[in-house]
Every structure is written in C-alpha cells, then in structure tokens.
Structure 1
Amino acid sequence: MRSDVTLRPLDRALLMALLRTAVEDADPAEVMPPVPGPGGWTPGRRAAFVRFHESRSLAAEPVESTFAVVVGERVVGAARLCPLGTAAGAVEAGVWIGRSHRGRGVGGAVVRGLLERARGSGFDTLFLRTTPDNTAVRALAAGIGVELVQEGDAATAWVDLTAEAR
C-alpha cells in the first residue's frame, strides 16, 4: 500500500491546486458536471469548477466533504464523501485521479482512506456508483472485496462499514 498518498480536507488554496491539476491532467467531463459551451477547459468551465466545489464543500453548510488527493506534496485528484439523504447512515464515495497518476496504486490508497474517514464519521454504509465499463473503479472495488452490480446504466455496490476493516 502506498504511504505517500494523503487526503486533505479541501480549502481555498487546495481548491486552486485542484483546479490546476484538473486543467493539466483531466477532461472536464471526468471531474465536474456538464457545462454548456465548447469543450475543454474554457474560462467559464474553470469558473464553474470552482463554483461547484465552493457550493458543495466550502459552503457555510457543506453538502459533502471533499478532499484533495495528495501524493507527496502534489495534488493529483479529489475524493468526496456525500451523505445520502435517502439511506440513513449511508454515504456515497467519489474519486477522480489525474491521468498521469492512474494505475499507480493511488486510487486504492484513496478508497482505503475514504473507508476510514466514513467509519470515523459514524457512517455504517458506503455507496459506490460508476458506469458499467469503468474498469478502474471495478478494480478498486474488487481491491476492497466488493463486487459492483449492474443496475441499468450504472454499476453500484453497498459496502458494510460495520464489518471488520478490509
């Protein structure tokens, strides 16, 4: 397991570093909701990325907890935990890693870190959702002993956080 991967709670300075990473190492569709207009990292899309995180995790009453994924001292992606209002005690996890750091064990370390944070915050269930063809997330789930189940256009899993740590 990688020991140089940390999850740091997002703040304004980390948000700017996260934006730089997204622009340099990810496609907008991989890291944020769709924004109308031409493709790529336009000034409007960059501003929307910042607004999105400000409204979700940096707001006075945050909707979710977002973490900068840091390798050494470099921000390489983001992870989040968002409580599910539809299921008591459940939280949804989300992760994106910049292309240049994929396939290097970063995602596995991030998932384990999210499991620890979710347990430490008192959640008893972690929800994972991705597209059926996302082999990277399928591998991350398998790495913690979880099989994603296809449900329509999504692949999902509910992870029991009260079971012995994986």
Structure 2
Amino acid sequence: MTREVRLTPVDEQNLEPLLSVAVAEAEPDEVMPPVEAPAGWSQARRDAFREFHRANFGGLDGPTGNLMYAIVQDGDVVGMVRLGRRRAEPGTLETGMWLGKSTRGQGIGLIALRLLLAEAVQAGARRVVAETRADNLPALNLLRRCGAVLGDDTGDGHGDGTAIRAEIRLGVSEDVAGAW
C-alpha cells in the first residue's frame, strides 16, 4: 500500500489535530519540553503544548529559530518534526521528531526525515544534527538510514553514554551555506 506522507508547517489549523495525536498516542515528555504541571495530559500541559508550538510559528527566521512541521499521512496528522537554528554552529540545523504510537515502525519517520532534509538543503544548511538517547534504537536506526554519523553527545568522546549526537552532512556548497 502506498502512503502519502507530507510535511505541513504547524499552524492554528493543524495545532489541535497535532495535540489530539499527542494526547492519544504519546507521553508529554516525548513531544514537548518539560513543564511544571500535574502528571499526564493535564489541562496545564495541553495549554503548554499549544503555547510551545505557537511560539514557533515564526519559523527559522522567527524569534525561536524553529520551524515545526506536522507530519501528515494520508490526510491525517500523525506526528511532528522540526528544524531549528544552531547559532553556535553556522550552516547547521537541528532536528527532532515524534510520531504517534500507532504509526511508529511503518516507515513514516524515514519519509518525514528525508522530506525534512530536503527542506534543510533549501534553507542552505550544510548539516543537520539530532540528539537522542542511546537506548532509542528506532531513532538511531532511522538516523543511520539517512546517513547520520553517530557519536556521544559532547562530541569529544567523553560523554556519559546515555546521549547520542547524530550528524547528517548535506550536499550544499560552502558558498550557499556560508550566507548565514
């Protein structure tokens, strides 16, 4: 079965469907920064989820320097992937992704990451980095399939073994990427 997967910038129209997937199929700490709120998907966490995503509506050139995309499969929002500026590393964008539990393991993440990497090239990036846990084998496999080189989170070989940094080099000339 062929599935259509596309990325759509997160906006007011797809924010509530994105929140619905998060509540039904993910834990809060998988899909948003930590907040002081009752455990689980309390109203405070739902409000924080909305505000977190609204703060990023400005995209790469906005105040947060993040561009959030809803991952849409066959017309349904199934997760989120983001690109973010790394001001300390010129030419580098970072990414993170989550999918609802019912769509994990179906190749949707791979398609979404490849689409995101194309967006990064269009933005002039030379590389995309991601950070994940050493025990997150699905994420590590996905990153490897997209050409990532994996190392410890510090980059100096002295990490604690729990965090992994993945770096994907993109085919962008230095002249284009040096513009930012």
- Post-superposition Cα deviations, 1:86-106, rounded to whole Å, max 9, x if no partner, equal 111110011100011000001
Structure 2 residue runs of 5 or longer lacking an equivalent are: 154-158, 173-180
TM-score for both structures, normalised by structure 2 = 0.84
- Residues 92, 128 of structure 2: 8 Å contact kept: yes
Return the offset for 1:148.
1.7
Q: Name the amino acid aligned to 1:157.
A: A
Paired residue for 2:62?
61
Q: Name the amino acid aligned to 1:61.
A: G
Return the offset for 1:36.
1.8
Paired residue for 2:23?
23
Q: Name the amino acid aligned to 2:33.
A: P
Residue 165 of structure 2: which of 121, 145, 156 is its match?
A: 156
Larger Rg: 2
- Residues 11, 58 of structure 1: 8 Å contact kept: no
Return the offset for 1:37.
3.0
Q: Percent identity, please.
A: 36
Q: How many residues align?
A: 162
Q: Name the amino acid aligned to 1:161.
A: L
Paired residue for 1:81?
83
Return the offset for 1:62.
4.5
The structure 1 segments of at least 4 consecutive aligned residues displaced by more than 4 Å after TM superposition are none
- Residues 149, 168 of structure 2: 8 Å contact kept: no
What's the Cα RMSD here? 1.7
TM-score for both structures, normalised by structure 1 = 0.91
Distance 2:21 2:13 in 1: 13
